[in-house]
């Protein structure tokens, strides 16, 4: 059990570092090259980052005149992101784990509840780079990250809908990686401060996140998009069933 917790904590450290929240302990960037300008209200753009032994593409996006570097770009998300651009209102709000928030904002120009880390995740990796964290002035409160995490990992769909209504979110964006050990563990930490629910356990199969990924018919939610990587749901309000 202790080994699993160490694995999850290391994974969270890597997630946070890759999302531009830690500087001095991150791999040294040898080259940064603009690949594509998407523009829009969040000034989205794709950049190629070259390191000593690998390359990765990241999305840049701007919120309140501050530019953020998103999670490593994954082209398998493009069909889902294109669907969002073409089939949702311009003011649509999405509930998702914050790794995908920058992609949704920068590429589709839609809103998300969470697009960056919070102090809670800073504390998970405390001692790594306190000064770097402080310089970043993380924009999201612990409350937002806790609410998003809890909404995804609860076993009560009513609670998920209550959090979505709190933030005026109409859609949920989930990926196949959300239900694997690394991100699932990170979401646990966001909700509970520790890995309370383990991947593959009976308890994990009762969570909204696993239901949304493994089922197409979840009470209170309509599956509006699905492929091998992403599923998107829209919240159903009672009046829509009458």
pLDDT of residue 13: 47
* Packed helices 2-18 and 181-192: angle between N→C axes, nearest 10 degrees: 90
Domain that holds residue 90: 2-241
pLDDT of residue 124: 59
Structure tokens given for 195: 């890995």
pLDDT of residue 130: 43
Contact 85, 39 (CB under 8 A): no
pLDDT of residue 127: 38
pLDDT of residue 132: 43
Instruction: Give just the sign of the alpha carbon dihedral 24, 178, 71, 53.
Output: positive
Number of independent structural domains in the chain = 1
pTM of the model: 0.82
Which residue stretches of the chain have pLDDT < 50?
Answer: 2-14, 17-25, 125-136, 242
Please, where are the H alpha helices in 19-156? 78-87, 101-103, 119-124, 130-136, 142-153
Contacts of 85 (CB under 8 A, 6+ apart): 107, 108, 109, 110
We report the CATH number of the domain holding residue 115 as: 3.40.50.12610
What's the helix, strand, coil split of the chain in %, to 5? Answer: 45, 25, 30
């Amino acid at each position: 059990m202790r080994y699993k917790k160490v694995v999850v904590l290391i994974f969270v450290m890597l997630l946070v570092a890759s999302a531009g929240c830690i500087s001095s302990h991150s791999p040294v960037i040898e080259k940064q090259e603009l690949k594509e300008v998407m523009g829009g209200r969040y000034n989205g753009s794709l950049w190629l980052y070259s390191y000593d032994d690998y390359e990765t593409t990241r999305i840049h996006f701007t919120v309140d005149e501050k530019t953020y570097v998103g999670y490593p770009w994954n082209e398998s998300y493009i069909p889902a992101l294109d669907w969002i651009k073409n089939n949702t209102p311009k003011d649509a709000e999405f509930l998702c784990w914050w790794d995908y928030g920058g992609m949704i904002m920068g590429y589709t120009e839609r809103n998300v509840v969470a697009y960056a880390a919070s102090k809670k995740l800073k504390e998970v990796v405390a001692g790594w780079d306190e000064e770097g964290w402080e310089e970043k002035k993380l924009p999201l409160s612990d409350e937002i990250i806790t609410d998003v995490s809890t909404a995804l990992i609860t076993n009560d769909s009513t609670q998920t809908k209550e959090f979505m209504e709190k933030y005026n979110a109409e859609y949920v964006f989930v990926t196949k990686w959300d239900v694997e050990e690394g991100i699932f563990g990170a979401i646990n930490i966001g909700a509970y401060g520790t890995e309370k629910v383990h991947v593959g356990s009976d308890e994990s199969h009762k969570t909204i996140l696993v239901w949304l990924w493994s089922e197409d018919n979840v009470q209170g939610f309509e599956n509006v998009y699905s492929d091998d990587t992403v599923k998107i749901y829209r919240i159903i309000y009672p009046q829509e069933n009458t």
